[in-house]
Amino acid sequence: MARIYGLETEYGLAHTADPEGRRIGPEEIARYLFRPVVEWGRSSNVFLPNGSRLYLDVGSHPEYATAECDDLRDLLTQDRAGEGLMIDLLDKAQTALEADGIGGRVHMVKNNTDAAGNSYGSHENFLIRRTLDFNRLTTVLLPFLVSRQLLVGAGAVIPRRSAFAPEEEADRSEMMFGLSARSDVMWEGLSSATTRSRPIINARDEPHADAEKYRRLHVIVGDSSMSTATSALKIGSAVLMLDLIEQGARIPENGLRHPVRDIRLVARDLTGQVVLERTDGTTTTPLGLLGDYRDRAQRIVESGEHSLGDDELAHYVIDLWTRMLTAVESQDFSSVDTEIDWVMKRTLIERSMQRGISDIADARIHRLDIAYHDITPATGLFPKLETGGMAKNLVPAGTAERAKTVPPESTRAAIRGEFVRAAHAARRDYTVDWVHLRLNDESGRAVALKDPFATTHPQAETLIAGL
């Protein structure tokens, strides 16, 4: 079976000024960052030759949306290529700032909250069949997404007591290490909103494909992952859950009675034993739920009836899922301490506190947390962990470098990438979105790529050949 999936990642920007220099804000950094993008594409919202979309989102957040993938290894590669493209832009911005006499260093972080507490997202997109009962899907999927942070959260220093309604404020008098800061900005289980009333699952029906056949599942609850192993488990487990649901597996259909409260409770319990109430009055735990889901997912991986593409990586997802459950149950994380973001971050924080920091709310711990997500080559912590063998990397550097210009070969991204490359080389004015290719000239020729699985399209090939 096959499925399309992709990631949208928003990045944070910051500037460390020289002692006597001027500090600039995200808006000014973004102008420097996107100067080469605008010069190349005459816009700060462009599609690239590798099939991806690069743009500046609300709040001066650079955002990279991967090309459509139908193979988990391709998606991991595309995501890492996006990091590489952002680093390239950051290097150019640093050079331009210095040329303009602005000292200090600009930073880019792949996380989900800034110093002011604002949240920005890492969104997962999955193509699902229109014939699937969407209400059943979300009912079954919500308990998984509430619990999944136990496996793949980024880790964060969060208030020990959180708010459960938008008008409330979390009690920040006491802080703790939790699984995710993202959980505290979720206010609904399912909604069509994304900011005002941020839901775990976004219900906006925008398939970017043939609407009679497909719809798009838009999950906005996840953390941005630094570790490619964590990304593999995050996306891989979600894809396997969708496979189970579409195949009609007899997964319990009783949802959680209080998903907004529960997602906060799970974030604050590193043992996976917090009690969650189902809508039928029965109770469960995150560890129990994830163990049941893993058992079911393992069967379809072993049968080959999955949509992860790469069988070897599919077995790795199950293996890491299993090791993580064992680690949580035993509280011995030595078997996953180079693969799971929150485990690696907690280890770094604990070591820092052992060296004399008594309060987890100390500013030095906050700086360490940010440094973990900093992709800036000179200052980022995670690249050093990978180089030192303390963080597993599933994407070779050469593969990620190639993916900065080459799209996945097994989806319509290959057609889009070829069109963008050819039209740009021919200096033709064009418009592209996820579905359409258009020449902005007197001919006005346009093509609609409604099938995201199609790697050939006669009309598109004719359009490209005529450039």
3-state secondary structure 165-177: CCCCCCEEEEEEE
| Confidence at residue 167, expressed as pLDDT on a 0 to 100 scale | 72
Say whether 55 counts as a known binding-site residue: yes
CB 238 within 8 A of CB 217: no
Report whether 88 contacts 347 (CB < 8 A).
Answer: no
C-alpha closest to that of 236 among 136, 307, 179, 292: 307
Calpha distance 184→182 (Å, rounded)? 5
Comparing 198 with 452, which gets the higher pLDDT?
Answer: 452
**In three state form, how does the secondary structure of the chain look?**
CCCCEEEEEECEEEEECCCCCCCCCHHHHHHHHCHHHHHHHCCCEEECCCCCEEEEECCCEEEEECCCECCHHHHHHHHHHHHHHHHHHHHHHHHHHHHCCCCCEEEEECCCECCCCCECCEEEEEEEECCCCHHHHHHHHHHHHHHHHHHHCCCEEEEEECCCCCCCCCEEEEEEEECCCHHHHCCEEEECCCCCCCEEEECCCCCCCCCCCEEEEEECCCCCCCCHHHHHHHHHHHHHHHHHHHCCCCCCCCCECCHHHHHHHHHCCCCCCCCEEECCCCEECHHHHHHHHHHHHHHHHHHCCCCCCCHHHHHHHHHHHHHHHHHHHHCCCCCCCCCCHHHHHHHHHHHHHHCCCCCCCCHHHHHHHHHHHECCCCCCCHHHHHHCCCCCCCCCHHHHHHHCCCCCCCCCHHHHHHHHHHHHHCCCCEEECCCEEEECCCCCCEEECCCCCCCCCHHHHHHHHCC
Q: With contact defined as beta carbons under 8 Å apart, do 94 and 106 qualify?
A: yes
Check residues 166 and 179 and name the one with the higher pLDDT: 179
Bridge partners, 256 (sequence order): 278
Task: Please state, in angstroms and rounded to a whole number, the distance separating the CA atoms of residues 119 and 57.
Answer: 13
Lowest mean pLDDT among 191-195, 209-213, 352-356: 191-195
- Tell me the two tokens of residue 149: 């942070």
Tell me: is residue 174 an annotated ligand-binding position: no
With the C-alpha atoms ordered 378, 379, 382, 386, is the resulting torsion angle positive or negative? positive
**Residue 246 confidence (pLDDT):** 93
371-406: pLDDT as tens digits? 999 998 888 999 999 999 999 999 999 999 999 999
User: pLDDT band at 115, cuts 50/70/90?
Assistant: low
Mean pLDDT of the 205-222 span: 94
Per-residue confidence (pLDDT) for residue 117, from 0 to 100: 66
Whether the per-residue pLDDT at 195 is higher than 60: the answer is: no
Ligand-binding annotation for 8, yes or no, is yes
Extract long-range pairs of 311-318: CB within 8 Å, 24+ residues apart: 313/72, 313/73, 313/232, 313/236, 313/394, 314/72, 314/236, 314/240, 316/232, 317/72, 317/232, 317/233, 317/236, 317/237, 317/240, 318/294
Percent of the chain with pLDDT over 90: 83
For β-strands 12-16 and 156-161, DSSP reports them as unpaired
Between β-strands 199-202 and 188-191, what pairing exists: parallel, antiparallel or unpaired?
parallel
214 annotated among ligand-binding-site residues: no
Average the pLDDT over each of 146-150, 166-170, 355-359, 454-458 and give the range with the smallest value: 166-170
pLDDT at 191 (0 to 100): 72
Average pLDDT of the chain is 93
The response to whether 434 counts as a known ligand-binding position is yes
Catalytic residues: 57
pLDDT by residue (tens digit) across 227-253?
999 999 999 999 999 999 999 988 887
pTM over 0.85: yes
